[in-house]
A and B are shown apart, each in its own frame.
Chain A
Amino acid sequence: AQKITQTQPGMFVQEKEAVTLDCTYDTSDQSYGLFWYKQPSSGEMIFLIYQGSYDEQNATEGRYSLNFQKARKSANLVISASQLGDSAMYFCAMREGRNTGGFKTIFGAGTRLFVKA
């Protein structure tokens, strides 16, 4: 069965510094996708970044980059130049399987990030 593990319940970072949020996963599938989502206190989930299991390059989206280490089954999120608005809950997620129309995405427990001024 697939599993996502986020071991950092809470993280603090100084404004303008970089921070890494850890994520490890477990799956027996060869084809899968890894995602990061942000959930502010308002409740809405915001998609940040995606990494496919066959992608050789690490994904980047603006200030977000995904450090993908396939052999170690890790998919850490790096946020550069943190801003106060980055304070939120961050979820790592994994989608398993091919595009057969019936795919599942499961979420890790989340990491609460606090950005200090």
Chain B
Amino acid sequence: DTEVTQTPKHLVMGMTNKKSLKCEQHMGHRAMYWYKQKAKKPPELMFVYSYEKLSINESVPSRFSPECPNSSLLNLHLHALQPEDSALYLCASSLQGNYGYTFGSGTRLTVV
């Protein structure tokens, strides 16, 4: 298995909703990442998990809450989002060290 699976692929949510994005990989990668990408912009790093511990939080608002229940799974819990949070959310994983990331196909989130 050489891929990162993200679900759902599309999500529409209201500003008062609570939802979660899920990311799963079975490549034995011990580093996992969440990126946010607005249209026609580069991905922006949100969170880094290393060996299931949060190692980097890029000053992300608390309405985004990451969770890493085990080495294969990464969640992003969403609560009270704003319309400007609408974006493509990309999950990625990598071996430690200087290896390229394997990205999932993303969740396209629309906040209404």
Contact indicator B31/A35 (Cβ below 8 Å): no
Closest to B9 in A: A43
Contact indicator B88/A106 (Cβ below 8 Å): no
- Interface-side segment among B15-23, B50-58, B59-67, B72-80: B50-58
In the complex, A52 Cα to B48 Cα: how many Å? 21
In the complex, A13 Cα to B68 Cα: how many Å? 43
A72 interface residue (CB < 8 Å to B): no
In the complex, A50 Cα to B105 Cα: how many Å? 21
Query: What is the minimal beta-carbon distance from B73 to any residue of chain A, in angstroms?
Result: 18
* Residues in chain A within 8 A of chain B (CB atoms): 33, 35, 37, 42-50, 52, 91, 95, 99, 101-110
Contact indicator B104/A47 (Cβ below 8 Å): no
The answer to whether residues A50 and B48 also contact, given A43-B106, A44-B106, A101-B55 and a CB cut-off of 8 A, is no
In the complex, A45 Cα to B33 Cα: how many Å? 13
Contact indicator B98/A110 (Cβ below 8 Å): no
* B: contact size bracket: 20 to 34
Contact indicator B88/A43 (Cβ below 8 Å): yes
Contact indicator B105/A42 (Cβ below 8 Å): yes
In the complex, A19 Cα to B57 Cα: how many Å? 37
In the complex, A44 Cα to B97 Cα: how many Å? 22
The answer to whether residues A109 and B42 also contact, given A44-B106, A101-B55 and a CB cut-off of 8 A, is yes
B81 interface residue (CB < 8 Å to A): no
Residues of B72-112 at the interface with A, using a CB-CB cut-off of 8 Å, are 88, 90, 92, 96-106, 108
Contact indicator A52/B55 (Cβ below 8 Å): no
In the complex, A104 Cα to B42 Cα: how many Å? 14
In the complex, A99 Cα to B51 Cα: how many Å? 12
B27 interface residue (CB < 8 Å to A): no
Q: Which residues of B contact A33 (CB under 8 A)?
A: 98
